């Protein structure tokens, strides 16, 4: 997720607040499912009216013809394309549709004799040329190309199918020419349009998102990552607009076509590359630029955003990050330019098109007044992530999508290294533990998880490819690569990387090729490893899940076991390694003494390093570089608890976060008592660092989800309020009564946590403050709230406010010209406790005039985070599933977030039945990238039901005892 769609923690926290009392109202006002469903059936799906082409007859019955297979045959190999595209930025006066027209010629070599040409094409309407949809010519003089006998479009597998009256000859080169029309729809995929208002005028941008399989929606192409070619691109566009593509502009001239005087811009041929990395953009954007060591760097965005200086941060950071990666990979940036562009409508967070990276506005544009430190960090890391792909992914590309995890996992790891270079004072590298390792542990602990690596034959259809863009590929990929780099040492890791990139430059590879190169580096360096890189990594890559390592400090015995959130769930998938891993263990003892790394290769082993006595403790998985959880014997837990209580700084900050997260999850898996996990939170009244607090809040979120509609809620609030007060006061002092911004990046984050939790637990002083700040904005129309605090302040004010606050925020949202501010308001609008406002807001989410399509699913998830909105959002989603699925697919991870988001509070039999019913009801429609998320949600619900039954009473008792009676009065 990618993280583009992951909702910020602070927002999530605040959004869940509020109002068990509103429960009755929810039930009364809750949308009646059947009514909604009826309404839905009358709705026209956005894709229904969408296509310009009514393709001719297709083969519909399943057969075994080559065009019924999703993978291209190996008979034809493209070498170069000449593509000319003309997007119309005004609608056709008759049809009202926006379209583009194009001409394309592809040169390919015949590798095996064949009388069939299959080339990808989707939703394109081909002009007949001599009665066929394409024209074939031969390049070799003296060899005549066969004629096209018949041409048809196979919609299911997305091919243009050309049958020839004779064979193409092996090793001969041919040209295939086509003319076509496509719709420039607002569907965020292929060649699509984005719209925005400027000075009261609607502006249209034509732009692209090809990954994974939508280049075929822009022009006919061999649309697989290993079919690399050189692309000669030409764009036709109106005067006054700017045309961009992967290559530098070669020439731009006046041109008259179809009676219109337009501009024709040709680009330098690209390097040899995959189709999914192409980009074509026509806009009226402005830009700023710089040159670094001969590489031209430009940032493009809407003109007012550029004029307002919002591109400067990205411009200033791109150079250093690019240089960092050149150095890290020991390979020069392979292109003469690096353009980056912020688009008003964009489905993912960003896309690594080679030389022309596309972003949603919030991921690239930084504004001094409006952006928070979290917004800034996202910009730095996302730039680093996409720039990392320029080598890893673009220069060397995985052969097929089944290895996507290596591409995305790698970029998701090194994005932290790149961002650290851009902002060395932030300690941003530590945050991978919270954002990736801990985050993915939650899904990888389910039996419905899956291994990082998929089999090539299992990944065929576009929907199967899209499904791979999930937390496992991104976050588990990042986590295991970080572990690998750590045990090899960065020096050896980067030597292996360098030879891998050099060997496969402009070509394709598989993940085992990387292991080969790393092994060569290991051998050359004489690094001592317990086994080969292949053997070690296979245990992490070829089986799902991860181990819990149990250390008995009395005996020094260390053992491993597959960690399952629900210990009663049955693993039905066999693993080649029987769910055992080769585990590197770094550890330390009291006094900060680090032990040499030990390797656990079998089910269990005994190590002297793990044996302690007296007051000494062992702390394993230092800095959480290993992809596993750790459990100890009770004595060692007690000693660690004591260390936290008496001198928490003796344990490194990342491991304090780990102790909290491990303990809560071990408790959920019934390995340790829940009360032991709760006990750890007692030291938080002395904790001032961000990471442990954040870890605790994530785990408390689960408690909120499970208990905010039950009698546990009150005592829990009392206890947490008591724990957060010292932190709240600490920041009150540090900031001179909220008048200054803390210096440190992490402190800025933790200040937000302090306010969110204090307000959430009903601390009056906090609620008073947020109301005051928001009301000052309403009355003076001047917003003086610091951007770091805006999300939480807006949310709290809207939650405790009513119609007036909501309408005020909505009007600010509608008129916002800065996407980052609009986003903060959009999430806060979901915090209201008024069911009718939430229902109306839900309706807005599917109206692109109110909420941009790119933001629809995340807005529904914001609403579901709110205790009042949860059932409303669930009713809404299941009633409109087909409409949402067809109109908001776009081949990204938003569906898995949507399904996870609207079901995460599920904890009753009734909800479980509804969830299963939802799965059955929509089996025909499908769930696309949300397929796996649905099974995960079912599994999670089952585990939640059990957890509540087993824990409710003792959790309530514990909170009651721990919250001092005199503070138990607010609820
Ligand atoms: N290649 C992806 C973008 C993408 C995602 C394309 C899903 C098609 C489907 C890009 O490199 C990416 O991973 N973007 C992330 C940002 C990153 C910082 C995790 C995103 O979009 O959120
Ligand atoms: Zn990526």
CA 888 vs CA 322, 463, 467, 474: distances in Å: 34, 13, 15, 22
The CATH classification number of 24-284 equals 2.60.40.1730
CA 528 vs CA 428, 487, 582, 583, 648: distances in Å: 30, 10, 15, 15, 34
Q: What pLDDT, on the 0 to 100 scale, is given for residue 45? A: 33
User: How far, in Å, CA of 922 to CA of 902, rounded?
Assistant: 16
Q: What is the pTM assigned to this prediction?
A: 0.93
Torsion of CA 727, 733, 736, 738, to 10 degrees: 20
Q: What pLDDT, on the 0 to 100 scale, is given for residue 965? A: 53
* Nearest residue by C-alpha to atom 6 in ligand 1: 211
What is the 613 CA–ligand 2 centroid distance (Å)?
47
Q: What pLDDT, on the 0 to 100 scale, is given for residue 347? A: 92
Fold agreement (24-284, 550-661):
yes
Q: What are phi and psi of 596, to 5 degrees?
A: -65, 155
H helices present in 231-350, as ranges: 303-307, 312-329
| Direct distance between the N- and C-terminal alpha carbons of the chain, in angstroms, rounded to an integer | 38
Atom number, ligand 1, closest to the C-alpha of residue 386? 11
The CATH classification number of 287-527 equals 1.10.390.10
Q: What pLDDT, on the 0 to 100 scale, is given for residue 893? A: 64
Is the CB–ligand 1 distance for residue 350 below 6 Å? yes
User: How far, in Å, CA of 197 to CA of 817, rounded?
Assistant: 9
DSSP one-letter string for 139-192: SSTT-PPPPEEEEEEETTTTEEEEEEEEEEPTT-EEEEEEEEEEE--SSSSEEE
CA 856 vs CA 751, 922, 930: distances in Å: 29, 20, 15
- Ligand at minimal distance from the CA of 407 is 2
Asked if 646 and 631 touch (Cβ cutoff 8 Å), the reply is no
* Nearest residue by C-alpha to atom 14 in ligand 1: 350
- Ligand at minimal distance from the CA of 212 is 1
Q: Where are the domains of the chain?
A: 24-284, 287-527, 550-661, 835-961
Catalytic site positions: 386
Counts of helices then strands in the chain (DSSP H, E):
33, 29
| pLDDT tens per residue, range 553-578 | 999 999 999 999 999 999 999 999 99
Is the CB–ligand 1 distance for residue 467 below 6 Å? no
- DSSP 8-state assignment for residue 392: B
Number of other CB atoms surrounding residue 256 within 10 Å: 9
Annotated binding-site residue? 389: yes
Is the CB–ligand 1 distance for residue 352 below 6 Å? yes
DSSP one-letter string for 756-771: HHHHHTT-HHHHHHHH
Please return the burial class of 141, using the count of CB atoms within 10 Å of its CB with bins 0-12, 13-18 and 19+.
exposed
Number of other CB atoms surrounding residue 39 within 10 Å: 13
The CATH fold of domain 550-661: Immunoglobulin-like (2.60.40)
The CATH fold of domain 835-961: Zincin-like fold (1.25.50)
User: How far, in Å, CA of 962 to CA of 971, rounded?
Assistant: 15
What is the 323 CA–ligand 1 centroid distance (Å)?
22
560 membership: H or E segment, kind and range: strand 557-562
944-947: list long-range contacts, CB under 8 Å, 24+ apart. Answer: 944/706, 944/906, 944/907, 945/907, 945/908, 945/909, 945/912, 946/566, 946/568, 947/668, 947/706, 947/907
What is the 382 CA–ligand 1 centroid distance (Å)?
9
Is the CB–ligand 1 distance for residue 1 below 6 Å? yes
Asked whether the bond before 585 is cis by omega within 30 degrees of 0, the reply is: no
Q: What pLDDT, on the 0 to 100 scale, is given for residue 54? A: 36
Asked if 872 and 863 touch (Cβ cutoff 8 Å), the reply is yes
Q: What pLDDT, on the 0 to 100 scale, is given for residue 552? A: 98
Q: Which of the residues in the chain have pLDDT under 50?
A: 1-60, 891, 966-971
Q: Quote the Cα angle for 668-674-678, to 5°.
A: 120
Annotated binding-site residue? 408: yes
Q: Quote the Cα angle for 556-560-564, to 5°.
A: 140
Rounded to a whole number, what is the largest CA-CA distance in the chain?
97
Is the CB–ligand 1 distance for residue 4 below 6 Å? yes
Q: Quote the Cα angle for 236-237-238, to 5°.
A: 145
| Three-class secondary structure of residue 571 per DSSP | coil
Is the CB–ligand 1 distance for residue 469 below 6 Å? yes
For helices 787-800 and 803-815, give the axis angle rounded to 10 degrees: 140
Atom number, ligand 1, closest to the C-alpha of residue 469? 7
Atom number, ligand 1, closest to the C-alpha of residue 474? 19
* Nearest residue by C-alpha to atom 1 in ligand 1: 351
- Ligand at minimal distance from the CA of 351 is 1
Is the CB–ligand 1 distance for residue 389 below 6 Å? yes
Listed in sequence order, the residues at least 6 apart from 797 whose beta carbon sits closer than 8 Å to its beta carbon are 770, 771, 773, 774, 775, 805, 828
What is the 903 CA–ligand 2 centroid distance (Å)?
27
What is the 214 CA–ligand 2 centroid distance (Å)?
17
DSSP one-letter string for 321-374: HHHHHHHHHTS--SSSEEEEEEESS-SSSEE--TTEEEEEHHHH---TTT--HH
Beta-ladder partners of 764: none
- Ligand at minimal distance from the CA of 896 is 1
């Amino acid at each position: 997720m990618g993280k583009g769609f992951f909702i910020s923690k602070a927002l999530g926290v605040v959004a869940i607040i509020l109002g068990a009392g509103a429960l009755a109202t929810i039930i009364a006002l809750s949308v009646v499912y059947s009514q909604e469903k009826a309404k839905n059936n009358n709705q026209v799906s956005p894709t229904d009216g969408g296509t310009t082409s009514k393709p001719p007859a297709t083969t519909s019955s399943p057969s075994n013809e080559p065009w019924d297979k999703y993978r291209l045959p190996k008979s034809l190999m493209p070498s170069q394309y000449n593509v000319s595209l003309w997007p119309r930025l005004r609608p056709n006066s008759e049809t009202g549709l926006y379209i583009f027209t194009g001409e394309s010629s592809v040169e390919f070599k015949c590798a095996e004799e064949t009388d069939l040409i299959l080339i990808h094409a989707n939703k394109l309407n081909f002009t007949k040329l001599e009665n066929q949809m394409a024209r074939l010519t031969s390049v070799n003089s003296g060899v005549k190309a066969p004629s096209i006998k018949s041409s048809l479009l196979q919609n299911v597998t997305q091919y243009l199918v050309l049958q020839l009256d004779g064979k193409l000859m092996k090793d001969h080169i041919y040209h295939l020419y086509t003319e076509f029309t496509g719709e420039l729809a607002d569907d965020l995929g292929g060649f699509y349009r984005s719209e925005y208002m400027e000075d009261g005028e609607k502006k249209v941008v034509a732009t692209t998102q090809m990954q994974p399989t939508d280049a075929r929606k822009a022009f006919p192409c061999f649309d697989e990552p290993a079919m690399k070619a050189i692309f000669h691109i030409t764009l036709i566009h109106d005067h006054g607009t700017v045309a961009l593509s992967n290559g530098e502009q070669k020439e731009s001239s006046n041109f008259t076509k179809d009676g219109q005087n337009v501009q024709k811009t040709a680009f330098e041929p690209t390097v040899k590359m995959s189709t999914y990395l192409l980009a074509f953009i026509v806009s009226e954007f402005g830009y700023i630029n710089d040159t670094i060591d001969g590489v031209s760097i430009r940032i493009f965005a809407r003109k007012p955003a550029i004029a307002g200086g919002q591109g400067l941060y990205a411009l200033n950071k791109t150079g250093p990050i690019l240089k960092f990666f050149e150095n890290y990979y020991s390979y020069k940036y392979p292109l003469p330019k690096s353009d980056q562009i912020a688009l008003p409508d964009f489905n993912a967070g960003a896309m690594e098109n080679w030389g022309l990276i596309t972003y949603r506005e919030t991921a690239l544009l930084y504004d001094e007044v409006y952006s928070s430190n979290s917004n800034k960090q996202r910009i730095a890391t996302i730039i680093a992530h996409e720039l990392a792909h320029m080598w890893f992914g673009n220069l060397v590309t995985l052969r097929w999508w089944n290895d996507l995890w290596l591409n995305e996992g790698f970029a998701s790891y090194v994005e932290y290294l790149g961002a650290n270079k851009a902002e060395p004072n932030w300690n941003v590298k530590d945050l991978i533990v919270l954002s990736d390792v801990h985050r993915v542990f939650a899904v990888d602990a389910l039996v419905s998880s899956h291994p990082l690596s998929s089999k090539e034959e299992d990944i065929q259809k576009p929907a199967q490819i899209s499904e791979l863009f999930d937390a496992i590929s991104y976050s588990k990929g990042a986590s295991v690569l970080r572990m690998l780099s750590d045990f090899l040492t960065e020096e050896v890791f980067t030597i292996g990387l360098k030879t891998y990139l050099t060997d496969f430059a402009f070509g394709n590879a598989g993940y085992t090729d990387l292991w080969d190169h790393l092994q060569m580096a290991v051998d050359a360096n004489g690094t001592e490893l317990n086994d080969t890189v292949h053997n070690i990594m296979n245990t992490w890559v070829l089986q799902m899940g991860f181990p819990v390592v149990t250390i008995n400090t009395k005996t020094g015995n260390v053992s491993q076991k597959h960690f399952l959130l629900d210990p009663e769930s049955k693993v039905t998938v066999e693993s080649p390694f029987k769910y055992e891993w080769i585990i590197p263990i770094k550890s330390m003892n009291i006094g900060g003494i680090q032990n040499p790394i030990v390797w656990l290769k079998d089910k269990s082993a005994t190590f002297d390093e793990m044996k302690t006595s007296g007051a000494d403790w062992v702390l394993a998985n230092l800095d959480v570089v290993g992809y596993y959880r750790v459990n100890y014997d009770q004595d060692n837990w007690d000693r660690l608890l004591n260390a936290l209580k008496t001198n928490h700084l003796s344990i490194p900050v990342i491991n304090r976060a780990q102790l909290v997260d491990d303990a809560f999850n071990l408790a959920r898996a019934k390995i340790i008592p829940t009360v032991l996990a709760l006990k750890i939170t007692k030291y938080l009244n002395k904790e001032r660092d961000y990471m442990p607090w954040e870890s605790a809040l994530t785990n408390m979120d689960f408690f909120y989800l499970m208990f905010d509609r039950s009698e546990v809620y009150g005592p829990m609030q009392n206890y947490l309020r008591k724990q957060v007060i010292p932190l709240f006061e600490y920041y009150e002092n540090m900031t001179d009564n909220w008048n200054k911004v803390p210096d440190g990046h992490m402190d800025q984050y933790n200040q937000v946590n302090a306010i969110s939790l204090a307000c959430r637990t009903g601390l009056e002083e906090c609620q008073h403050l947020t109301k005051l700040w928001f009301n000052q904005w309403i009355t003076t129309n001047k917003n003086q709230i610091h951007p770091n605090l805006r999300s939480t302040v807006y949310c709290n004010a809207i939650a405790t406010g009513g119609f007036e606050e909501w309408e005020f925020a909505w009007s600010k949202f509608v008129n916002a010209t800065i996407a980052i501010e609009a986003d903060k308001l959009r999430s806060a609008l979901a915090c209201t406790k008024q069911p009718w406002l939430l229902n109306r807001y839900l309706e807005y989410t599917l109206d692109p005039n109110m909420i941009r399509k790119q933001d629809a699913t995340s807005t529904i998830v914001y609403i579901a985070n709110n205790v009042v909105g949860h059932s409303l959002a669930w009713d809404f989603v299941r009633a409109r599933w087909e409409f949402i699925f067809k109109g908001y697919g776009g081949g990204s991870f938003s569906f898995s977030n949507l399904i996870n988001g609207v079901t995460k509070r599920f904890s009753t039999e009734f909800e479980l039945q509804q969830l299963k019913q939802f799965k059955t009801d929509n089996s025909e429609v499908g769930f696309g990238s949300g397929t796996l998320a649905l099974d995960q949600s079912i599994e999670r619900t089952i585990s939640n039901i059990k957890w509540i039954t087993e824990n409710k009473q003792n959790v309530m008792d514990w909170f009651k005892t721990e919250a001092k009676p005199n503070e138990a009065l607010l609820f």
